Structure 1
Amino acid sequence: MELDKSGKSTLVQNLREQIGSNSDAASYVSFDRPTHMAAASSAPESILSAYKNTLIIDEVQLVPELFRALKVVVDELRLQEFHL
């Protein structure tokens, strides 16, 4: 299934605007930028731990290494909720 030009980035921008781009409620990162993509590819856990609030990620498909790190973070959060 091809998802090019399906409006994903537009959706992300709209979500960001709804939350508020100057708000502490959410952070935004786009992996369109080669420096962001390289940093996330080499140390995906570090990228995720740098953000303490909601993280809006655009072009995440460009960094497949991030998916494993995201799974680990989500699993850890679920365990914390279970033990609270």
Structure 2
Amino acid sequence: MDVACHMAMDIIKPQDSDFRDIPEEILTDSRYMPHFKVCIGAIDGTHIPVSISPEDQLPYIGRKGIPTQNVMAGCDFNMKFIFAVAG
């Protein structure tokens, strides 16, 4: 988990950290503008299978019966990760 947090700080970050620019996909499409002009991307969560020692697995067993880690991630309009958190 510590590795994912360090990766998020070093690698997963927006190109424009102030989010000043409106993405071209929103700016040029009347279906989205002005409704999503402050949108910076899309966010979703998923469970990722993990390897954990048998004695520590119980809290991580998901609905499919295998150990997983819940990860939430956000992408910008260029499909680049701008946010990720494991928890």
Shorter-chain TM band: under 0.3
**Structure richer in strand, relative to its length:** 2
**Structure richer in helix, relative to its length:** 1
Structure with higher Rg: it is 2
